[in-house]
Amino acid sequence: MQTVKAVILAAGMGRRLGAKSPKALIRLEDGKTILQHLLDGLGRVVRHEDITVVVGFQKERIMQAFPGLTYVENPDYRTTGTAKSLQLALAGLDGHTVLLAEGDVVCDPRVITRVAAGAGERMATHRIAVGEEEMKYRTRPDGMIARLSKTLADGEGEALAINRFGPEMNRRLLDHLQRCQPMDFFECAIELCIAEGFSIYPVDVSDLYGFDVDFPEDLEAANRALREMSN
């Protein structure tokens, strides 16, 4: 049986949040870090030893806080985006199905299990009102993902950065990621795969909380959701 691997992209500096530590190490009101929340969710479907974390900014702090994981370094984290980080991770995961998460996502763990549960390529989506900073998506007439971009004027909601890709798409993703511009998001390579005929199913998780923590207000919203869940 094929082993499912997981990749967490946690190389960035978090400038917009004003953090002095990696965003993945920001501690939420329940006492857990953002990365610990992701690991708890991924741990429901992936073995601890099958999780790869891409690090860059203050990499030693993350590696010391979470020993036993597999780490890949993006030494150019200051001048590259998530496309480069994902390229580095996928280079060592040929032939595997991969669960991909950005290291600043705080979500209900059921988001991860819901995306992991089905076959084929799958992407968590929120049918919510979106602003300028959210990664927006649009679907095709058959319901599959058609477009992914922060600049979409007619997006149907937010593409939450929890994804599942099979081995064939991961190979094509790696090819396209190598051609992306340094500061590109990894979603640019996903769009190229879609243009080649890959179908990505949007997994609606609108009933569950999920936040891409980029700004202080995102962190506040994540903490508010955790408080509501604990009541």
Distance CA 3, CA 25 (A): 27
- The full set of domain ranges for the chain reads 4-230
Mean pLDDT, each 10-residue run in order, the chain (231 residues): 87 80 93 96 95 97 95 97 97 94 97 94 92 91 95 92 96 95 95 96 97 92 93 76
The pLDDT tens digits for 112-171 are: 999 999 889 999 999 988 888 899 999 999 999 999 999 998 899 999 999 999 999 999
Tokens of 218: 């995102």
Angle at 189 between CA 185 and CA 190, to 5 degrees: 100
Distance CA 133, CA 157 (A): 12
Query: On the CB side of 54, how many CA atoms lie within 13 Å of its CA?
Result: 31
Task: Please provide the CATH number assigned to the domain covering 4-230.
Answer: 3.90.550.10
Contacts of 188 (CB under 8 A, 6+ apart): 83, 176, 180, 181
Quick one: pLDDT at residue 90? 96
- 139 forms beta bridges with 145
Contacts of 72 (CB under 8 A, 6+ apart): 52, 53, 54, 55, 88, 89, 92
Distance CA 70, CA 154 (A): 39
Burial class (CB in 10 A: 0-12, 13-18, 19+), 121: buried
In angstroms, what CA-CA distances link 99 with 28, 94, 113, 161? 23, 13, 10, 10
Quick one: pLDDT at residue 230? 82
Q: How many CB atoms lie within 10 A of CB 222?
A: 24
| Residue type for position 208 | L
